[in-house]
Amino acid sequence: MQSHARGHLVYAAGGVLAVHTERGTSIVPADRVAWTPAGYTHFHRAHGDTDMRIVFLEPSLARLVPDHPVVFLASDLAREVLLALTGPRNYDDAVPGYSRSARARLLRVLVDELGEAHEQPLHLPEPRDDRLRAVARILHETPADNATLAELGKTIGASTRTLSRLFRNELGMTFYEWRTQLRIHHALVLLAEGHDTTRTAYACGWANPSSFIAAFTDIIGTTPGRYRTSRRATAHASQLPAVVRPSG
């Protein structure tokens, strides 16, 4: 685990990334950007053939984006700026680099684009209550478990009413919403590892592929099949990964 004095953006040019903080886990599919503010202890985990790009933001720009971990959908312009900021100009001495002023302008364009982007429902909050943590542990280990909240409550020794209240008050969502989010996280990992839609659907607890496709499309904005196709196209279009640490 590590934390930085500056906030940073992590862009998945290919593959799937998971960004873990004390607040929870952000899953970052291709063409999404995860923002982690300064001071958050975190670590990254890559799934599949991943191309990870990192851009650090100084406080003057960081104040223009949310003060909590969040995932954005990258616009076409944001994507090109991210690739430029982490491309050969930043690590290949044979390629002319950006001037400091040019880099500053690109960073401002990037932040402006993210300011217009919608937050993606891809952050899974981490429970703090021991009873919720017990439920979360069961479902993380077996995402295909279709036990009801009442059945899970009996397993851990808590009532349905208590668990429902904890999900709403602590995590800001219902049990159903949280479990669906968890399953989508697992599904993105399986798709990144090359599993097909049908196998992924059953492995993550959906009764049939069509219900999985509907839930996936509702959260990700496209079908699993189209997502896999676009992920491959994005990975082919990207360049070598790098980390950019802008100064000033």
Listing DSSP states for 9-38 in one string gives EEEEEEEEEEEEETTEEEEE-TTEEEEE-T
Q: Which residue has the higher pLDDT, 139 or 39?
A: 139
* Mean pLDDT score, 135-142: 94
- Whole-angstrom CA distances from 32 to 60, 76, 107, 133 are 23, 11, 17, 28
136 pLDDT band, cuts 50/70/90, is very high
Assigned token pair, 211: 């219900």
Contacts of 130 (CB under 8 A, 6+ apart): none
Would you say 120 and 88 are in contact if contact means Cβ atoms under 8 Å apart?
Answer: no
Per-residue model confidence (pLDDT) at position 246:
38
pTM of the model: 0.80
Q: DSSP labels for 34-59?
A: EEE-TT--EEEEEEEEEEEEEEEE-H
> Is the pLDDT at 189 greater than 70, yes or no?
yes
Contact between residue 35 and residue 66 where contact means Cβ atoms under 8 Å apart: yes
Interatomic CA distance for residues 224 and 217, integer angstroms: 7
When pLDDT is averaged across residues 64-91 and rounded to a whole number, the result is 87
Question: CA 15 to CA 20: how far, in whole Å?
Answer: 17
Residue 240 has pLDDT above 60, yes or no: no
> pLDDT tens, 57-66?
999 999 999 9
What pLDDT shows up at residue 120?
A: 86
Predicted local confidence at residue 234, as pLDDT: 53
Cα torsion through 234, 190, 156, 149, rounded to 10: 70
The percentage of the chain sitting over the pLDDT mark of 70, rounded to a whole number, equals 87
7-122 and 127-231: same fold? no
Q: Which range has the worst mean pLDDT, 72-76, 78-82, 164-168, 228-232?
A: 228-232
Parallel, antiparallel or unpaired: strands 123-125 and 32-36 = unpaired
Q: Which whole number is the average pLDDT over 172-184?
A: 94
Where in the chain are the domains?
7-122, 127-231
* Structure token pair of residue 110: 């990037």
How high is the pLDDT of residue 174?
95
Longest dimension (CA), the chain: 65
Q: What's residue 214's pLDDT?
A: 96
User: What is the CATH code for 7-122?
Assistant: 2.60.120.280
pLDDT (tens digit per residue) in 89-119: 666 666 677 788 999 999 999 999 999 988 8
127-231: in CATH 3.60.70.12: no
